[in-house]
Each structure stands twice: as structure tokens, then as C-alpha cells.
Structure 1
Amino acid sequence: MADSMHPKQIVKSDIDRVLEAHHREIFASLERLADKLYRRNPREWRRAWLNSREEALARLFNADRGWQLAEFDGKRDIEVMRLAFSADFAGDRVAALIVGMGGMIQTAWADRTELFIMDELDPQALSNCARNVEISAWKLAQSRDATGELLLLSNEIGTDGVRNLSFEREMGKMIGWLDMSSQIVADKNRRVVTRILQSLATAVFLPVR
């Protein structure tokens, strides 16, 4: 063993390191998604009485809060994600979507950021998490208020007719990393993952616990 090897590395497998890398990529995409949403929807951070987009992002990605905010009354994960697409919700919809999604992913990751040989993840939870991000992408593009206005602005068609799909791309990356993680864990543990098929127009968020 090399003298420079950190003691923690002794109890990590190559699979653990790969999954940790996937985890970092997923949350990097989530942070980029949050930034893009606040840029297109500045009214949302103003609803939270914040002074800037930067302040809003710092609040969302504060690890000490454990993907919870006081205004969501103890709710976490999917319960908070639903608020983002509720027509009568008057709070920060970007915060609801990102905090809910971040909490959901952490729940599927057994609330870990590091993995060791004895740690086990549930591949079905990771797969369900990916499906929930797919549902969120559809809802983001389709959910409207009583006047027909989109609840959150995301993808757009520019004046030159070119579509900006950067929001879909970030969510697509997250889906890809989650599905790869699910497959790796399933193969490792010889588990079978059930792909639950739903129509996006009527789909409900799947459990990740």
C-alpha cells in the first residue's frame, strides 16, 4: 500500500468511487439547473425576500440544512417537489423544485456522500429517482397557472427560431447518471430493477425510500 493512501481508501471499492463520482456529477447538474431557473425566474428568489440570485443559490446548497428549508414546514423530497408545480403555491418555486429534488436524490443515496465497502444502496430507489426527474422535466415545461402562464420559465425559442434546451440537457444528464448508478448497484448485488412505465401527462412521483 502506498504511503500516501488515505486510510479511508482502504475500505472503498472501485464501485464506491465510481458511484461517488456519479453523485458529484448529479449535484453539479442540479446546481447549474438552479442557476438557470433563477436567471429566467428572478421573481422566485424575490418571493423568498432575498437580495440576489447568488444569495438564493447559497441558501439552496447549504449542506448544513440537509435539503430542508423552514418555509416547507418539515417537508422533504417529493412532498416539496410537488409544491413547485402546485398552482396555488405562493412561495419560491425554484427552491421547492431544487430542494425537493436534492433531498430526493440524497434519500436514494441513503443520505450519504461517501460510500464504503459495507454500504448498500437500493437500485430501485435510484431508478425511481431518475423517473421522478423525467416527470419533473415534463412538468417544468407544461405546468401552468389559472391564466395559462407557465409556472416556471425554462426552455424557450429564441428570436432566431432556435430552441434553448439547456434545462432539458441538465436534467437529462441527471437522469443518465442516476440510471447508470442504478444499473451498477443492481449488477453488483444481482438485483433486478423494475422500470415503471407511466404516461408523463398523468405520471405520479415514485417512492425513493
Structure 2
Amino acid sequence: MNRAAAPIACMLTCALLAACSGPPIERRDGSSSARSFSLKELAKRDIDSVVEIQQQALVATLRTLTLKLYRRNPAEWRKSGFASADAATEALFTPLLDWPQSRDKDLDWRASLRDAWREDYTGDRVHALMQGLLVMQMAAFGHRTEFYALSEIDAQKLYNAARNTEAIAWKLANARRPGGEPLLLSNGIDAGGTPNLSFEREFGKLIGIGDALARVVEDKDNRAIRFGVVNVASMMFLPI
């Protein structure tokens, strides 16, 4: 291909890719699933795009859970000195803007998750819990936010993160203070006496995304996942 034809071929490739894409999904909240195209997309396989989309969905669910927990437990964001639940939530997820360079990724997520349930813990329990979950989930993706043909993804880590998340969901629903009240308020009964299980639904999304993605990667790599369970009582998590 001569030098004059190369730019034309590149433009044609981009035009074809844009033409082949379907219309974006318009959600009830007015948001769109449309993703802008860049030449980096040419280095991605289908599996890479699937991983990125699922990771974004997982982070969005973590953000929803964080905001809901802060709204149910306003004393926690006040411990951290924030003006609102929204401000506390935004601060927790700001490091994702440059996650590979963030110091947060080196956090001991196991210790952070255990801190949230310690009776003598005086810090922000929601922050400890959700930061631990965020770092654990990002570790399962190798702390990457973009994936390409040579990116390695470990199905076992995705599976283990889903099992650890199950254990945390159970702990959130059952952890109590000595007087019997929950350490953190989550599911409850609304004013009309109807059970509010919205937290269970959000945790179900996290677990479902992790399990589905682990199966996809397992099939791609032809490497079997080793099944395991978490010791909930001692909070001994599966490794990531």
C-alpha cells in the first residue's frame, strides 16, 4: 500500500466500524450506553470490550451501594468530615479517574473489609467497607481499566471476588452491635410494612457480573476455575 492510500484506508476502516455499530441503549434515567470510538479500539478483541463494559457496570453498582449505605447511615460520612452522602461517595470513587497511578490500589482490602465490622472501630464504616470492596474488585481485573488483545484476565480471581462479595453481603445483613442493633443499616421495612431488599438486589448484581465474567474468561482460556467458599465467621477471604 502506498503512502497516499494508507490514510484513506484508515478513514474507511473507521467509517465502516462506525456504520456497523447499532443504536445505543437509552435508559430510563436518560443515560446512554454509547461509547466514543478511538483507534485504540482496533487493538481490542470482542472479549476485551465485554470485560470493560462489565467492569463499568460493576463499578456503577458499587457506587450505587455506597450512596445507599451513606444515606442509610449518615453518621458514617460525618465521621469522615464530608458535607453529604453524595460528597463522600464521589470522593471514594475519584481515584478511578487514574486508577493505575492511584495509591488506593495498594490498599490492604482484606484489612479494610474486616475494619468495617470491628466493634472498636471508630472510623467511617461505610468507607472502610466500600473501599475494601472497590480495591478487591479492581484487583480481580489486574487493576486495569482498559483491556487489549495481550491483556491477561484471571477467571479464578473474578470467581473469588464474587465469593468474597457473597460473604460481605451476608455480613452486612447480620453484623450486630452488643445491644442487637445492626452495625450498618441496609435492608429494612418501609413505612408501609413492605420489606426493602434493594441492598440485596445490588449485591446480587455484583455477584452475577463476577460469576458471568468468570465463566466467559474461563471458556476463552480453557482453564478450569477451582471452586471455593469463604469462612464468613472469621472473614478469611479467598485470594485475589
Name the TM-score, length of structure 2 as normaliser.
Answer: 0.79
Q: Which position in structure 1 is the counterpart of 2:90?
A: 58
Q: How does 1:75-114 map to 2 (within 5 A)?
A: 75-114=107-146
Tell me the secondary structure at the aligned position of residue 217 of structure 2. helix
- Per-residue deviation at 1:166? 0.4
Q: Which position in structure 2 is the counterpart of 1:154?
A: 186
Gaps of 5+ in 2: 1-11, 18-37
- Per-residue deviation at 1:78? 2.0
Give distance in 2, aligned partners of 1:30 and 1:202. 24
Q: Which position in structure 1 is the counterpart of 2:212?
A: 180
Does the aligned pair in 1 maintain the 2:163–2:230 contact within 8 Å?
no
Name the TM-score, length of structure 1 as normaliser.
Answer: 0.90
- How many pairs are equivalent? 204
Q: Which position in structure 2 is the counterpart of 1:29?
A: 61
Q: Which position in structure 2 is the counterpart of 1:2?
A: 13
Asked if 1:68 corresponds to 2:104, the answer is: yes
Q: Match for 1:168 among 193, 200, 205?
A: 200
Give distance in 1, aligned partners of 2:150 and 2:39. 15
- Per-residue deviation at 1:61? 0.8
Tell me the secondary structure at the aligned position of residue 47 of structure 2. helix
- Per-residue deviation at 1:159? 3.8
- Per-residue deviation at 1:198? 4.6
Does the aligned pair in 2 maintain the 1:67–1:102 contact within 8 Å?
no
Indicate how the Cα distance of structure 1 residues 203 and 61 shifts in structure 2: closer, same or farther if over 3 A, else same.
Answer: closer
Does the aligned pair in 1 maintain the 2:71–2:85 contact within 8 Å?
yes
Counterpart amino acid of residue 54 in structure 2: H
Q: Which position in structure 1 is the counterpart of 2:156?
A: 124
Q: Deviations over 1:79-101 (max 9, x none)?
A: 21111111111100110111110
Indicate how the Cα distance of structure 1 residues 37 and 18 shifts in structure 2: closer, same or farther if over 3 A, else same.
Answer: same
Asked if 1:20 corresponds to 2:52, the answer is: yes
Counterpart amino acid of residue 145 in structure 2: T
User: % of aligned pairs identical?
Assistant: 41
